């Protein structure tokens, strides 16, 4: 059970909700980190008095240092700061709620310190899942997923003594705001259209990933790495209501699922209290008023990103790092309104065809694959 956290990405959507859970559970906060949100991190720091506050952006960190001069809080910047926050001895748990593969090195550093990792930052597992999971085993760290689907599966697997009993993991997928549209109908979808998610309120990058279904592709890879299963044993199913958060099918044909209203605080809270459950004031799902549960197959022709992610999942090695790096870059360009919606998948596909990948990549190979993928996307956009 968690007592003190280092919260990486404290100013984002998961960061905010983790702060609420920390208040609820009376956790202490040893470190807070963000990129450049000075006002928000300052108020969080004044509330929790962590030992360390980090802004990745150097100029923003300088500003924060000046503002917190009347406190004992140390302020750092850059990757050095993120690594210091991830390895602080006072924190028993590191919540990785940064967006993007920038979270990889801090996650590995926290694992080496045998921390509990409450992992929201899926890009880390997508890019370097094998390295991360090997490190978890080697150092005896604990990794508890925060992503709602993976938390659902993690909860369903409590009491499963033999992973060989798993036949399939089924990740549910809301389908996003563009469910049912064809590839051509997606052509003119704008940033504003993509940011209207039907069920969840999340950061901009993951909301766009949910609209392209890349999010589900990344989550399939995340689940394969977490549970060391091949693609044939992990699949996605559309479930518009976001009530069933995912399922495990066992070899005797039993299906276990976790159900609830869409609320990220449940998986965040569980990652803090695991293997116990804490009292919560959250409204439980009312079965008598919830709509009939419906499921459908995702359309991989319209939503090419899901198809590409599955191909990379099969290929393994650094292909997933190329997929992720190209996607991060392309989504950034879409959010900046430099490219269209369908360009995201097209640019990722081009990067996958241009960047050579190695099998069994070490960390430098992964970082290089990520760099080349981003370069490919930038070259095609002309940025
Ligand atoms: P947000 O965009 O809301 O927040 C991102 C956080 O990361 C912010 O605190 C931001 O700081 C910080 N950050 C961004 N870039 C950097 C950087 N270069 N260095 C250091 N910190 C940085 O994202 P979400 O909270 O939505 O998502 C976080 C992660 O959790 C993602 O990997 C996402 O896929 C995953 N996730 C999110 C869910 C959700 O419901 N939101 C659900 C499941 C998974 P700043 O404010 O200064 O920019
Ligand atoms: Mg999810």
For residue 264, pLDDT over 90 is answered with: yes
Asked whether 11 lines ligand 1 (CB < 6 A), one says yes
pLDDT of residue 272: 98
CA of 148 to the centre of ligand 2 (A): 5
For residue 1, pLDDT over 90 is answered with: no
**What confidence tier does 375 reach under pLDDT thresholds 50, 70, 90?**
very high
CA of 77 to the centre of ligand 1 (A): 17
For residue 317, pLDDT over 90 is answered with: no
pLDDT of residue 73: 98
- Looking from the CA of residue 200, the nearest atom of ligand 1 is 40
The CA R_g of the chain, rounded to the nearest whole Å, is: 20
pLDDT of residue 129: 96
CA of 365 to the centre of ligand 2 (A): 27
Asked whether 350 lines ligand 1 (CB < 6 A), one says no
What is the per-residue pLDDT across 73-84, written as a single tens digit (0 to 9) for each? 999 999 999 999
pLDDT of residue 359: 86
Asked whether 87 lines ligand 1 (CB < 6 A), one says no
For residue 54, pLDDT over 80 is answered with: yes
Region of residue 337 (phi > 0: left; psi between -120 and 50: alpha; otherwise: beta): left
Asked whether 145 lines ligand 1 (CB < 6 A), one says no
pLDDT of residue 199: 78
**What confidence tier does 118 reach under pLDDT thresholds 50, 70, 90?**
very high
CA of 215 to the centre of ligand 1 (A): 14
CA of 220 to the centre of ligand 2 (A): 10
For residue 174, pLDDT over 80 is answered with: yes
Ligand 1 pocket check: which of 144, 195, 203 to mutate, most ligand atoms within 8 Å of Cβ? 203
pLDDT of residue 242: 94
The chain-wide mean pLDDT, for the chain, equals 97
User: Residue 75 in contact with residue 86, Cβ under 8 Å?
Assistant: no
Q: Which amino acid residue places its CA nearest to atom 4 of ligand 1?
A: 12
For residue 201, pLDDT over 90 is answered with: no
Using a cut of 0.85, tell me whether the model's pTM lies above it.
Answer: yes
Q: Closest ligand to 204 CA?
A: 1
- Looking from the CA of residue 207, the nearest atom of ligand 1 is 26
Q: Which amino acid residue places its CA nearest to atom 16 of ligand 1?
A: 35
For residue 27, pLDDT over 80 is answered with: yes
Q: Mean pLDDT lowest for which of 217-226, 278-287, 297-306?
A: 278-287
**What confidence tier does 36 reach under pLDDT thresholds 50, 70, 90?**
very high
Q: Who's near 204: CB < 8 A, 6+ residues apart?
A: 195, 335
Question: In terms of Cα–Cα distance, which of 271, 269, 267, 229 is closest to 249?
Answer: 229
Q: Provide the total of helices (H) and of strands (E) in the chain, helices listed first.
A: 16, 11
214-245 as b/e: b if 16+ CB within 10 A: bbbbbbbbbbbbbbebebeebbbbbbbbbbbb
């Amino acid at each position: 059970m968690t007592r003190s956290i280092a919260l990486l990405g404290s100013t984002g959507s998961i960061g905010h909700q983790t702060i609420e859970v920390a208040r609820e559970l009376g956790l202490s906060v040893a470190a807070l980190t963000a990129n450049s949100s000075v006002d928000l991190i300052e108020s969080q720091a004044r509330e929790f008095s962590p030992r360390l506050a980090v802004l990745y952006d150097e100029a923003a960190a300088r500003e924060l240092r000046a503002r917190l001069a009347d406190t004992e809080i140390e302020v750092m910047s850059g990757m050095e700061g993120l690594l210091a926050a991830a390895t602080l001895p006072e924190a028993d748990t590191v919540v990785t709620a940064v967006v993007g593969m920038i979270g990889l090195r801090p996650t590995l550093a926290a694992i080496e310190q045998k921390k509990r990792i409450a992992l929201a930052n899926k890009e880390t597992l997508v890019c370097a899942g094998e390295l991360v999971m090997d490190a978890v085993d080697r150092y005896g760290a604990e990794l508890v997923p925060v992503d709602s689907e993976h938390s659902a599966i993690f909860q369903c697997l409590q009491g499963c003594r033999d992973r060989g009993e798993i036949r399939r993991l089924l990740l549910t997928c809301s389908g996003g705001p563009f469910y049912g549209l064809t590839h051509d109908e997606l052509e003119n979808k704008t940033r504003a259209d993509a940011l209207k998610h039907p069920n969840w309120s999340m950061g901009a990058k993951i909301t766009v990933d949910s609209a392209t279904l890349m999010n589900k592709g990344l989550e399939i890879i995340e689940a394969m790495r977490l549970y060391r299963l091949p693609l044939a044993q992990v699949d996605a199913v559309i479930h518009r209501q976001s009530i069933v958060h995912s399922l495990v099918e066992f070899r005797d044909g039993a299906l276990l699922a976790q159900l609830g209203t869409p609320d990220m605080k449940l998986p965040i809270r569980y990652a803090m209290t695991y293997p116990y459950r804490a009292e919560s004031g959250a409204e439980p799902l009312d079965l008598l008023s919830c709509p009939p549960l419906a499921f459908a197959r995702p359309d991989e022709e319209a939503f090419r990103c899901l198809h590409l992610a599955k191909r990379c999942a099969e290929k393994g090695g650094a292909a997933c790092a190329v997929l992720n790096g190209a996607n991060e870059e392309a989504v950034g360009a879409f959010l900046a309104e430099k490219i269209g919606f369908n360009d995201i998948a097209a640019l990722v596909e081009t990067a996958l065809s241009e960047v050579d990948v190695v099998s069994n990549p070490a960390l430098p190979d992964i970082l290089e694959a990520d760099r080349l993928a981003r370069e490919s996307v930038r070259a095609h956009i002309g940025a």
